[in-house]
Amino acid sequence: MATILIIEDDQRIRQSLSSRLAERGHDVDAVGTAMAGVESAVSGRFDVVVLDLGLPDLDGAEALRMIRSITEVPVVVATARDDESEIVRLLDAGADDYVVKPYSAEHLEARLRAVLRRSSAEPEQRVLTVGQIVIDLDAQDVRFEDRSLDLTAREFDLLAYLAERPGRMVSKRQILAEVWHQPYGGADKTIDVHLSWLRKKLGESAADPKYILTRRGVGVRLVDPDT
Ligand code: CA
C-alpha cells in the first residue's frame, strides 16, 4: 500500500484511476493541474507521483523539473505519445519510469510497485541481485547462475549501474554520463558493443534477450526474466 499523488487533468481518467487504486488499498490524492500537483508533490506526503504530461497550465517536463528541483519523490510520467525522444528527455529530466496512454490501473500499479521497491531499497546495500545475477559491489565480483562471471571493469560498472535500477529504462545519455563519465556525442555505439559483450557472457543475444532489454532510440533496462 502506498500514498499516491495523481496529477491528471482528464477528469474521467483521474476518477477511474483514483478509485481503482483506492480499491487496491492505496491512499490516493488527485489533482487536475500542474501547479496544484507541484504544490502537493513537494509536501513530502507522497510515496510516488503519477504525472500526466498533457496538462493545461504547464508543460509536463517543466512540472517534472520543478518537482525534481525540490524533492526526490519518485515520479512516473504518463504520456499520450509513444514518442521516443520525448521519453528519453523525461528520463534524463529525472522521471523514474513512464507509462504510455492508454494504460490500465493494473499496469500502472505494477510500474508503481517497481518504482517503490527501488526507492525503498537500502542505499548502502552492497550486494545486488537481479534474477540469477548476483553482484558484490565491494568485492567487484559477479556470479551468474552460481558461477563466477569474468567481466572487464567497464562491463562490471555497466552491469552494476543497470542492476542498481532493476527494471528501469535508462537512456544511453545517462549511461555515458554515469558509467563512462563522458558527455553525449554519438558515442553510443560503445555502449552497444559493451551490451553485446555482456549479453554474450549472460548467454543471451539481442535477438533472444533475457536480462538486458533494449528499446531502440530509448535505452536499456536490466530485468529479472522470471518475474
Ligand atoms: Ca492530459
- Residue 30 Cα to ligand 1 midpoint, Å, equals 13
Q: How far is the CA of 94 from the centre of ligand 1 (A)?
A: 20
Beta bridge partners of residue 4, listed in sequence order: 28, 48
Residues 6+ away with beta carbon under 8 Å from 142: 133, 134, 135, 136, 148, 149, 151, 156, 159
The CATH architecture one would assign to domain 124-222 is Orthogonal Bundle (1.10)
User: 223 CA to middle of ligand 1, Å?
Assistant: 30
The angle formed by the CA atoms of residues 4, 89 and 192, to the nearest 5 degrees, is 115
Please name the residues in contact with 123: beta carbons below 8 A apart, sequence gap of 6 or more.
Answer: none
Q: What is the pLDDT along the chain (227 residues), one digit of tens a residue?
A: 899 999 999 999 999 999 999 999 999 999 999 999 999 998 889 999 999 988 999 988 889 989 988 888 999 999 887 778 888 888 888 899 999 989 998 999 999 998 988 877 655 568 999 999 999 988 889 999 999 999 999 999 999 999 999 999 999 888 988 888 777 666 678 899 999 999 999 999 999 999 999 998 889 999 999 88
Please tell me the distance between residue 204's alpha carbon and the centre of ligand 1 in angstroms: 39
Query: 187 with 176: CB under 8 angstroms?
Result: yes
Enumerate the domain spans of the chain: 3-120, 124-222
Kindly give the distance from the C-alpha atom of residue 150 to the centroid of ligand 1, in angstroms, as a whole number.
48
Q: What is the signed CA dihedral for 122, 123, 129, 131, rounded to 10 degrees?
A: 80
Pairing of strands 127-130, 212-215: unpaired
Where do we find the cell 487533468? 9
CATH of domain 3-120: 3.40.50.2300
